[in-house]
Chain A
Amino acid sequence: MQNYRKQNEGIIEIFFLSVSVIALLILVSIFLFLFITGIKAFTQISLSDFFLGTVWNPTAYGEPTWGILSLIIGTLMVAIGSLIIAIPLGLASAIYLSEIARPEIREIVKPAIEMIAGIPSVVLGLIGLLLLSPLIANIFGLSSGLNALTACIIVAIMVLPTIISISEDVLTSLPKDFREASLALGATKWQMIRMTLLPAGLSGIVAAIMLGLGRAVGETMAVLMVAGNSIAMPTSFFDPIRPMTANIAIEINEVVKGSLHYESLFAIGLVLFVMTFAVNLISDIIIERQVRKYKW
């Protein structure tokens, strides 16, 4: 009787282990597929052409060019621009929710903000297309509102819930002693927040921002609909841009498997993957440090 239960244990553990390995396998396969297909592109395109070339035109009238610099800049512009909007808004909201709001208000506002995360990106893109972009064109006197600015605003809306949620969690998880000690020394609430809580929770907040950054870099549909998608090197936020994600989405449907164009799109995918992997890794390390500091 004892023996069969023990035997079962072994099998069950192996079963769960093998299932868990699948998650690892998926990540590895994604990387492998991207790498194997993408690397082939570099047998025909030089690294400097790819990363430093400014024109991406695989279906050119003359010689195709494969420079992704303008695409990388497009991605960076969306990432940085949306964070410039979302970080102040997000942090302020997080501070409000965790330190200032009454519990009843918190119970309503927090779930409401989580709901924004549930709105599909294509719906936000639709609103951007129909409402925001003509508005921006009107306000700034531009001929068209399909540009980096509109894309940044829409992506900021998407990234906001992530930043608020995690920052708020970080702040509420800080020990009560911190607050009590600070207030006991005569600080006002704001002084307490500014001088005690924020520095203590800084790494967690940075991690939240990095996760938001990851989301902004990876956003596809919304930017596809409102960023303008031109391949020229942008000179300002009022210019149309084409982030790497939008480029892959646009061209993946027309490539024949095995062609250089196909391989080069996977190469772009590889670059994207490495970027988001790096951002996530860094935020992981930061979160780990934060948890270790304040776990009690």
Chain B
Amino acid sequence: MVNENARQSIYFVLFRVAAFFSVIILLFVLLYVVKEGISVINIKFLTSMWSHRDITQGGIFPAIVGTVLLAIGVSIISIPLGICTAIYLNEYAKENLLTRTIKLAIRNLAGVPSIIYGIFGMAFFVLFLNLGGSLIAASLTLGCMTLPWIITASEEALKSVPYSFREGSYALGATKWETVRKNVLPHSFSGMMTGSILGISRAMGETAPIIMVGATFFMGYLPTSPFDKFMALPYHLYILATQHSSPSASEYAMGTALVLIALIFMLNLGIFILRYNLRKRKEW
């Protein structure tokens, strides 16, 4: 018995170490990026156009704009689509072959490598539909990639609404749609929104799919139409890290990484706060 206790203590210590090790990795990554990148962050860096001849004079403003526009584009395409699909699957779908196939498709889409979405986007949106490398082609490509995550998150949100809500509504004579619209959606909305925004923040960090559908390294102008090419933070950072010859390039790469991570984390933090506030208002 004493042996068992001793063994348990050892294992538990190991497990504790393991868990905290994971947290340490996170902290380390964040701190490293901050340490290496903070020196280049200043107002000029964040708000000026990219200057290639002397990167100490230029800024990553167009890359920030590109990433934000991309996030908006992806949201427009995948959030409505994702939520509607989740509503169908959770509220309307009957147990038949079509439903099972759709569910299978969604689970598998989530596992497809991002580069496959990239080549698909290139072959389909850029070449076949002749959209060219553009914001809209990239939004569609990343939209396809984000769709399964949004559907899954929205489904979870819908499932969390107790069935009794629906029963009460039906008992009063409401149709299915009225029930969904007035009783289920309002309560699941926060969950759906947070899940969706989480998916969008992941899309913002993707590099491989956007390289072949419209991201550029240098553009002297800001994109004004969905058919324009664009700069984006992840691609910009990748090129700075591997191809730029200026000795301060890796510093700037870190700075760009810092901005990207900051954007993503701000988004996540916002969701966190939103979720907390909306949860407080729940009545059950």
Interface assignment of B38: CB less than 8 Å from any CB of chain A: no
Task: Determine the distance from Cα of A88 to Cα of B126 in the docked complex, in whole angstroms.
Answer: 43
Interface assignment of A295: CB less than 8 Å from any CB of chain B: no
Interface assignment of B207: CB less than 8 Å from any CB of chain A: yes
| Chain A contacts with B in 1-42, Cβ cutoff 8 A | 5-6, 8-9, 12-13, 15-17, 19-24, 26-30, 33-34, 37
A20 touches B205 (CB 8 A): no
CB-defined interface of A93-123 with B at 8 Å, one 1/0 digit per residue?
Answer: 1011100110000000101110111111111
A13 touches B92 (CB 8 A): yes
Contact of B85 among A22, A33, A157, A245 (CB under 8 A): A22
- Which residues in A have their C-beta under 8 angstroms from that of B26? 112-113, 115-116, 119
A20 touches B85 (CB 8 A): yes
B interface secondary structure, majority: helix
Contacts A23-B109, A188-B5; A221 near B147 (Cβ below 8 A): no
Q: In the complex, what's the smallest C-beta–C-beta distance from B13 to chain A, in angstroms?
A: 10
- Which residues in A have their C-beta under 8 angstroms from that of B238? 122, 125-126, 221, 225
- Which residues in B have their C-beta under 8 angstroms from that of A37? 123
Contacts A220-B114, A252-B122; A26 near B144 (Cβ below 8 A): yes
- Which residues in B have their C-beta under 8 angstroms from that of A183? none
- Which residues in B have their C-beta under 8 angstroms from that of A127? 29, 32-33
B177 touches A8 (CB 8 A): yes
- Partner-contacting stretch, out of A46-54, A171-179, A266-274: A266-274
Task: Determine the distance from Cα of A190 to Cα of B16 in the docked complex, in whole angstroms.
Answer: 13
Contact of B19 among A8, A109, A122, A190 (CB under 8 A): A109
Interface assignment of A189: CB less than 8 Å from any CB of chain B: yes
Chain B residue nearest to A116 in the complex (CB): B26
B205 touches A130 (CB 8 A): no
| Chain B contacts with A in 131-159, Cβ cutoff 8 A | 144, 147-148, 151
Q: In the complex, what's the smallest C-beta–C-beta distance from A151 to chain B, in angstroms?
A: 15
A190 touches B84 (CB 8 A): no
- Which residues in A have their C-beta under 8 angstroms from that of B56? none
A interface secondary structure, majority: helix
Task: Determine the distance from Cα of A13 to Cα of B94 in the docked complex, in whole angstroms.
Answer: 11
- Partner-contacting stretch, out of A64-72, A137-145, A211-219, A232-240: A211-219
Interface assignment of B68: CB less than 8 Å from any CB of chain A: no
Contact of B84 among A16, A97, A129 (CB under 8 A): A16
B81 touches A22 (CB 8 A): yes
A27 touches B109 (CB 8 A): yes
A20 touches B89 (CB 8 A): yes
A33 touches B120 (CB 8 A): yes
Interface assignment of A131: CB less than 8 Å from any CB of chain B: yes
Interface assignment of B162: CB less than 8 Å from any CB of chain A: no
Task: Determine the distance from Cα of A112 to Cα of B257 in the docked complex, in whole angstroms.
Answer: 19
Task: Determine the distance from Cα of A292 to Cα of B101 in the docked complex, in whole angstroms.
Answer: 19
A92 touches B92 (CB 8 A): no
Given contacts A89-B22, A189-B8, A217-B113, 5 further A-B contacts (CB under 8 A): A34-B120, A115-B265, A123-B237, A129-B241, A190-B12
The 8 closest A-B pairs by CB, nearest first: A120-B205, A218-B113, A92-B18, A16-B88, A190-B8, A93-B19, A96-B15, A280-B111
Give me the interface of B with A, judged by CB distance under 8 Å: 4-5, 7-8, 11-12, 14-23, 25-26, 29, 32-33, 36, 81, 84-85, 87-89, 92-93, 101-102, 104-120, 122-124, 127, 144, 147-148, 151, 175-178, 201-202, 204-208, 211-212, 234, 237-238, 241-242, 250, 253-254, 257, 260-261, 264-265, 268, 272
